[in-house]
Amino acid sequence: MAKQPARRSDRSPAGAPAEQAAVDRSWRLYASTAVAAGILVAALIGILVIPAGQRENAGLSFYEAVCRALGMSPGSPAQAQPVSTATSLPVSQVSWDPEIMRILASGSTRRGAAIAAQTCAACHGDKGLAKLQFPALAGQTPEAIYKQLSDFQSGARVNPQMTPVAKALPVRDLANVAAYYAAESKSYTALGLRDFSGDVEIEKLAREGDSHRRIPACMSCHVNGVGGPIETPTITGQNADYIVAQLNAYASGTRKNDVYGRMRNIAAKLTPREREELARYFEGTL
């Protein structure tokens, strides 16, 4: 009898393509199952276990904690976020665009004098030589005066006396007042530091600053002609009470109309004593 040919399965050695494919399918199934299980465990830990453990301290319900973990609610996972109802003061909205510069350049000192006599002189003096807690306007540039008036008008700076005054004036009259006081103060030649005999560290802080605390010299900006920002006020000869009040307001953050937060950052680094003595130094009474 003739010998029957062997079937394919009988003569196929182990590891032939058909058997190898079956083995590969099994390993892929095992690997996929393991990965899926790992993802499921991680999801359960991140979404359920951790929020459940933190929700009591965070003051959240379990549902809120899970929603935060999934990114469905604002805030970090399982952390209650305080809701603030406070309204922040707006920052200065002054922009030194060509139109504003043109208005300032064409400011009428005559019109400014009329407004100043009626509205400003009672506190700021006839020629800007105020006393006590009021700021002296003598020696200021039109840009410095205009910037503060504009901030009072926009609400970036708030004062119960100045806010209604500034809000009642159109932009052109703000420029007229600024032009008047800047022009009148040119005849006031006494602005400047007197002979100094006080704390040498205060004088160094005023003239050189403090590099270790990253405090720039006051005189690098607040003296006319030094090339500081266009809106920077001159503080030589300024009333000490006024300077102290403004430094304290900047340090506490209650005054916020400084561009880029420069003065808030600097004033917060000064000690209360340094603020007091710098104010007296620039007034010239030390």
pLDDT-derived band of residue 280, with 50, 70 and 90 as boundaries? very high
Q: Write down the domain spans for the chain.
A: 37-77, 98-129+138-186, 200-283
Closest to 286 in 3D by CA, of 211, 198, 165, 215: 198
Residue with tokens 């503080």: 235
Distance CA 128, CA 229 (A): 22
Among 3-7, 174-178, 201-205, 245-249, name the one with the lowest average pLDDT.
Answer: 3-7
pLDDT category, 81, cuts 50, 70, 90? Answer: very low
Cβ(84)–Cβ(148) under 8 Å? Answer: no
- Can you identify the CATH homologous superfamily of domain 98-129+138-186? Cytochrome c-like domain (1.10.760.10)
Token pair 């340090």 is found at: 251
94 three-class SS: coil
For residue 232, give the DSSP letter.
P
Same fold, 98-129+138-186 and 200-283: yes
Q: Which of 170, 189, 180, 172 is nearest to 120 (CA)?
A: 180
Structural fold of domain 200-283:
Cytochrome Bc1 Complex; Chain D, domain 2 (1.10.760)
**Distance between CA atoms of residues 93 and 12, nearest Å:** 86
Identify the pLDDT of residue 129: 86
207, pLDDT greater than 80:
yes
Extract the tokens encoding 186.
């040119």
pLDDT tens digits for range 50-67: 555 554 444 556 566 556
Q: Looking at residues 128-143, what average pLDDT do you find? A: 88
